[in-house]
């Protein structure tokens, strides 16, 4: 396995940020008390997570290298 050349900049990539947010949404959902969960439809949480994961995939397809201007 070989890391990408600019792996130290991975935290800036949309794909990495989206995946971390998707994990945070699911983690927060696990630790919410049941009475708070009752006020939020579970399909909303799933939709937000899936949207973030889709953004992560899109982020891998888009060139995110910084623009160099002269």
Q: Taking the C-alpha atoms of 63, 8, 16 and 59 in order, what is their torsion angle to the nearest 10 degrees?
A: 0
Q: What is the pLDDT of residues 37-69, one digit of tens each?
A: 999 998 999 999 999 999 988 888 877 777 777
Range of the domain at 56: 14-61
Instruction: Give the 3-state secondary structure of residue 69.
Output: coil
Q: What is the pTM of this model?
A: 0.77
Within a domain: 40: yes
Residue 57 to residue 6: CA distance in whole angstroms:
18
Under the banding of pLDDT at 50, 70 and 90, the label for residue 15 is confident
Residue 70 has pLDDT above 70, yes or no: no
- Domain-located, residue 46: yes
Q: What is the pLDDT of residue 2?
A: 78
The number of distinct structural domains making up the chain is 1
| Residue 27 domain-assigned (yes or no) | yes
Query: Of 26 and 12, which is predicted with more confidence?
Result: 26
């Amino acid at each position: 396995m070989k890391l990408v050349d600019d792996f130290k900049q991975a935290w800036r990539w949309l794909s990495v940020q989206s995946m971390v947010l998707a994990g945070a949404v699911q983690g927060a959902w696990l630790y919410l008390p049941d009475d708070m969960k009752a006020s939020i439809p579970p399909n909303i949480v799933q939709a937000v997570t899936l949207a973030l994961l889709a953004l992560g995939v899109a982020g891998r397809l888009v060139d995110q290298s910084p623009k160099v201007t002269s």
